[in-house]
Amino acid sequence: MEYRTEHDTMGEIKVPADKYWAAQTERSRQNFKIGVGFEYMPVEIINAFAILKKAAAIANNKIIPERMTLKKLELITRVCDEIISGALSDNFPLVVWQTGSGTQSNMNVNEVIANRGNELAGEKILHPNDDVNMSQSSNDTFPTAMHIAAVIEIENKLLPELKRLIETFKRLESDNEGIIKTGRTHLQDAAPLKFSQEISGWRNSLERDLEMILNALNFLRELALGGTAVGTGLNAPKNFDIESAKAVSKITGTQFKTASNKFHALTSKSELVFTHGALKALACDMMKIANDIRWLASGPRCGIGEIKIPENEPGSSIMPGKVNPTQCEQVTMIAVQVLSNDNAISFAASQGNFQLNVFMPVNIYNFLQSVRLLSDSIKSFNDNCASGIKPDENKMNENLNKSLMLVTCLNPVIGYENAAKVAKLAHSKNITLEDACIELKFLSREEFREAVNPAKMV
């Protein structure tokens, strides 16, 4: 491999000649060989950095054009667009496990933009610190990148898939409106309900999760950019924070604004904790829904078996013909991972000291993984399981008629204690509720049939 010599304030260092990064990136690459090959800084953060560097250049050009000239702006903009397109993806080699402020990743982006921009210009015009990092600090750019990436990934990836699953459940509600089945509480038989009502519970849980996520996004729309090193805005011109937030909004097509208190924005990560709490709520509901579906589909002969789900692949290497609820299983495993990520995010956010939190890379690494996993999981579950759910009406009717909890509607007729006697006698003798009620001489057969009607209980 060929190398070129780059320098920083610590001296000279050799850098691969075919890469655009420079000295500070290379020092981090050499000093943090942790998780290499697996745990690089997420591409979503790199893209968010490109967005904010472009926005910062636009703001600087508007406020201090004598320093951020039009030529410099054009070069920075062009390289940032290349980064966002993925054209320079092999120039960001740093891992998550680096400085807790993300300084090296900020400088990685600065160096790539400067060197690539100078290559395009055919002369050395851009300096990574003086130009690309103008009016900024790693301490305000990294938290800004975190918020930008979080909002974009949730809006563009997670919310569309969540809305699609909600629509699937709406369709299933409509398709199964007239079917009555037994309910279950404590994993025991309970009063009957309509299958569509059961589905509506799944649907409304997801709608509430969607509402909570949308509310949480409002807090992530506040950007730390303009706080620079400790929140005072040192070296940033007046209104840089406002103008850069406007530029980010225009570039991304979604609304951002400058944080009202930069001291909070640099050291607190409460907005990410709060938003991930909404993601955790979604994971919990997805766990519950997936478990409901695999219980209801259990069998095919020795389980509940009230619904049928798509059979996607063989389920056993030893038991021929076995098919498992694999889509439900991937949902539940991902829910476990998201709940675990929440612990890491919460602990990382609690460790802000004085004017800076230095657990930011691990925080956003786990946050973005949760968004990515939930997005992919919900899409897979919807496409390969939920959309193909079919009721087994014969099994539902069989279970409904066997349920002892139909006795509940006898409470107003013969009283709770007598109704309990009916249920216990039916269970002990393995006879129907109707026969038990007649044997106990509480009601005639006609009176029982008038009182016990599942259609009137839902």
Q: Low-confidence residues of the chain, pLDDT below 70?
A: none
Closest among 267, 258, 268 to 225, alpha carbons compared: 258
pLDDT of residue 102: 98
Residue 60: burial class (beta carbons within 10 Å; 0-12, 13-18, 19+) = buried
pLDDT of residue 101: 98
Parallel/antiparallel/unpaired status of strands 188-194 and 180-185 = antiparallel
pLDDT of residue 6: 96
Tokens at 405, concatenated:
């909890």
Q: From the CB of residue 97, how many other CB atoms can be counted at a distance below 10 Å? A: 16
pLDDT of residue 346: 98
Q: From the CB of residue 440, how many other CB atoms can be counted at a distance below 10 Å? A: 14
Residues belonging to the active site: 186, 316
> Residue 23 and residue 30: Cα distance in Å, rounded?
11
Query: Residue for token digits 């607190």?
Result: 268
115 in Cβ contact with 23 (< 8 Å)? no
